[in-house]
Amino acid sequence: MELQELLGIFPGVTALIGGGGKTTMMYTLARELSRRGTVICTTTTHIRPPDHLPVLERVDRAGVESAHCVCTGRPSAEGKLTAPPQSMEALAALADYVLVEADGSRGLPVKAHLSHEPVVPACAGATIVLVGASGFHRPVREAVHRQERFCALTGAAPGDPVTSENLAALLTAEALGDAVFVNQVEAPEALAAARKLAGLLSRPIYAGSLRGEEWTCLL
């Protein structure tokens, strides 16, 4: 089963938040969806420009239809792309699917959010929260972006390990997103932790390895 089918991605704007694989998920979905329609990849925060897609500062319908899939954003001084000059509503009118990386985690597998985060477009029809399984059993101080916020919401200490229980407490307290995807599940222990997490949540949860292109529904 393709990832877009598993996650139930519909035409319109889909936002990806959290940590542990947002960019990989965006381009995996883009590859699949471009066989069904036109796709725009973009960000409301920062992403590195891809080397496998046309990168445009402004998008028009002819350009999207010609390439089937493009990336758009404003170039920044650091070499990354920031939010595009066109609104998400405008982009949604130019392509069948708009995929938005709407969060930053500094490469860490788990993300706790401050009040101004994530930057999900108001027009997003679905939001997926990613969690990296590489964070399980590692100290909070090593695995979590915004560790102070994580500790405040879960009662964990910076030296405590990230567990299914405190991760479920975080996801429940923040109440962000429509579904959860646990990425980097490449060993039986990681799958067991993901299954335990699924038992503590009341929303759809998926697990797998985006790089290995394997995934399944847990709940």
Residue 77 pLDDT > 90: no
Which candidate, 183, 15, 185, places its Cα nearest to that of 83?
Answer: 15
Q: Residue 10: what pLDDT? A: 96
Rounded CA separation 171/103 (Å): 15
* Element holding 150 (H helix, E strand): helix 147-154
Q: Which residues contact 208 (CB under 8 A, 6 or more apart)?
A: 181, 182, 183, 185, 214, 215, 216
Q: What is the pLDDT of residues 16-58, one digit of tens each?
A: 999 999 999 999 999 999 999 999 999 999 999 999 999 999 9
Residue 75 pLDDT > 90: yes
pTM: 0.96
Q: Residue 219: what pLDDT? A: 82
| Confidence band, pLDDT 50/70/90 cuts, at residue 76 | very high
Q: Residue 78: what pLDDT? A: 84
* Mean per-residue pLDDT of the chain: 96
